[in-house]
């Protein structure tokens, strides 16, 4: 069969057009961990994201974010995007690691929720109130060693008050994600054909309940990740969170002010105008009074008026300096209180870790003492048995073979004793 160059060109162009239609674009303002370099440029925040913590502050490392620490337990941590995603179709690529003791526990949630930073914040699946959106929960539900479940809510159900939240799941699959060593790769896909979750390249959950219908989350929602640890804690680490869409979107577009915020902007402008109006008299009073020659004051009233204005300006300036110093003092006191609280919290954590380490050392010492006692008893028993055997050989050598008697009664060749004589 002969294929012309024109046919090949047409086929190549069709393939290129099809690939262009389905091309994905990374939304930079909602993604982190996909570029070389540190996740947190200043080791404290992630651009475009806000951190939340209960009992601790999530640790920002160069290649990961630790939402819950390995020790102590009962801690919560969360990350929420500052801006919503204005597209209905999207893909999330998440890489995380969960590690802990054999009987450790905890849960990880991936959210796509309306006003998530304020309505969800640090909540987990079982503690979240009414929310509008989608949540993917990873925990050890049902004692399976690890499960992944999907939930949808239109804002009408309070999960923390529901009698059986587990029955609201629209999809579930078992996957042992704990203590795997390498990060687990999770992908969430929301398209016009439905919603699908893939874990390490394999399909986990597939449903048409989030297919763009009235029940599916609308565009303009926030992405979030929350984690909670149990008394025997699991540590959850996030290595990468990348949001992509089939629509090209620029950095400027993702940072644009949503349409529901003009009222907030007008309120902020009104407050700024009011503050400027209140400060106008003070600025007028603090303005430098120009110098004038003494001959310009032709009467006592002019001289008194100039003196009054200069004294008034000096008084306003002194008052302004006093207010500035007061504000600095309050800020300093506030910072000192925060530092004291942080130091106290660190001290408590260090004391807890030291106490735990001391308890482990004490337990090891007790175990070593028990082993030493067992060894001493075994040594004593062996010596007693050996002495009994030597006595039997000495008293009744005829009962044993000569080579056996010789082996037990001779050290060096010159020390051998003939017990049969």
User: For the chain, which residues make up each domain, given as ranges?
Assistant: 21-251, 371-415
pLDDT tens sequence across 23-40: 678 999 999 999 998 898
What pLDDT, on the 0 to 100 scale, is given for residue 97?
Answer: 96
Contact partners, residue 169, CB within 8 Å, separation at least 6 = 149, 150, 151
Class of CATH domain 21-251 = mainly beta
**Residue 395 to residue 390: CA distance in whole angstroms:** 9
Q: Does pTM surpass 0.85?
A: no
Task: Name which residue leads in pLDDT, 296 or 335.
Answer: 335
Q: Is the pLDDT of residue 84 over 90?
A: yes
pLDDT, tens digit, for every residue of 117-169? Answer: 999 999 999 999 999 999 999 999 887 789 999 999 999 999 999 999 999 99
């Amino acid at each position: 069969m002969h294929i012309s160059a024109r046919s090949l060109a047409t086929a190549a162009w069709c393939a290129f057009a099809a690939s262009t239609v389905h091309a994905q674009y990374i939304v930079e303002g909602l993604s982190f961990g996909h570029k070389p370099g540190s996740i947190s440029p200043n080791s404290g925040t992630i651009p475009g994201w806000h951190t939340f913590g209960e009992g601790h502050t999530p640790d920002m490392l160069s290649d990961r974010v630790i939402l819950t620490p390995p020790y102590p337990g009962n801690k919560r941590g969360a990350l929420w995007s500052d801006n919503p995603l204005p597209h209905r179709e999207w893909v999330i690529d998440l890489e995380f690691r969960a590690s802990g003791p054999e009987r450790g526990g905890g849960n990880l949630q991936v959210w796509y929720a309306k006003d998530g930073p304020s309505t969800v914040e640090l909540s987990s699946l079982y503690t979240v109130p009414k929310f509008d959106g989608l949540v993917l929960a990873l925990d050890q539900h049902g004692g399976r060693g690890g499960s992944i479940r999907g939930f949808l809510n239109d804002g009408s159900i309070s999960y923390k008050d529901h009698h059986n939240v587990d029955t609201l799941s629209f999809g579930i699959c078992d996957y042992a994600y704990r203590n795997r060593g390498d990060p687990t790769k999770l992908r969430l896909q929301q398209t016009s054909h439905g919603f699908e979750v893939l874990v390490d390249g394999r399909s986990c959950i597939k449903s048409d309940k989030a297919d763009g219908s009235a029940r599916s989350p609308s565009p303009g929602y926030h992405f979030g990740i929350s984690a909670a640890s149990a008394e025997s804690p699991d540590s959850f680490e996030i290595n990468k969170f990348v949001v992509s869409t089939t629509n090209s979107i620029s950095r400027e577009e993702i940072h644009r002010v949503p349409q529901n915020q003009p009222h907030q902007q007008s309120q902020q402008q009104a407050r700024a105008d009011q503050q400027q109006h209140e400060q106008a008299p003070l600025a007028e009073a603090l303005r430098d009074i120009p110098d004038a020659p003494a001959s310009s004051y032709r009467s006592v009233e002019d001289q008194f008026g100039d003196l009054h204005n200069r004294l008034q300006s000096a008084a306003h300036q002194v008052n302004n300096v006093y207010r500035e110093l007061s504000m600095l003092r309050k800020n300093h006191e506030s910072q000192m209180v925060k530092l004291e609280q942080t130091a106290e919290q660190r001290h408590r954590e260090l004391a807890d870790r030291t106490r735990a380490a001391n308890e482990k050392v004490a337990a090891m010492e007790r175990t070593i003492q028990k082993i030493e006692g067992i060894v001493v008893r075994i040594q004593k028993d062996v010596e007693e048995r050996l002495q009994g055997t030597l006595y039997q050989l000495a008293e009744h050598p005829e009962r044993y073979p000569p080579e056996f008697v010789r082996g037990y009664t001779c050290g060096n060749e010159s020390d051998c004793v003939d017990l049969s004589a």
